[in-house]
Amino acid sequence: MTQNGITKKENDYFEYLKKCIDGMQGSTTFYRTATALIPIAATENSVTCEITVANEHVNEKGTMHGGQTVTLVDILTARAVGMTVRDMPMVSVDLSCSFMLPIPVGEIVVMHAEVLKKGRTMAFTECEFRRKSDNKLLAKGKHNLALLPYMKVADPSLIRQF
């Protein structure tokens, strides 16, 4: 069944993405980096968000700090995996980012994270940052994650939160 061309299942993924981003609001941890994200779309294997670059995201040159970009790659690719691998711990195995163009304060950036391959114990992902005004590629990240289905978590509510 579709509504406005969107299936219920696609809508469920989007609702889950919104819930994840809402769960980051007010965070004092690593996730505070993502509190300005606006969810745009989500599928079984991808998430799309946008952000308006603010002073809290930039370096002394007034452009998005590389650490901010890499952190968003980490968060968004993990959320893409998390669309179907919910309530399971995962850890980074490899994380890298290439920076193509500076991203100044005020720029609206669309970020699309996608799962390239997901197995029993590993997920391979990538994330692109594009300028909303002209779709120019600004940065591209790669993130490989280990899935830990048998890991005991001291506080499971932390996982369910996102």
Q: What is the mean pLDDT of each run of 10 residues along the chain (162 residues)?
A: 52 91 85 89 96 94 96 96 87 97 97 96 97 98 92 54 42
The model's pTM: 0.86
Q: Which of 118, 47, 36 is nearest to 77 (CA)?
A: 47
Continuous segment of H or E residues that includes residue 90: strand 90-99
CATH class of 2-160: alpha beta
The predicted structure's pLDDT at residue 4: 52
Domains of the chain, residue spans: 2-160
Q: Distance (Å, rounded) from C-alpha 21 to C-alpha 32?
A: 10
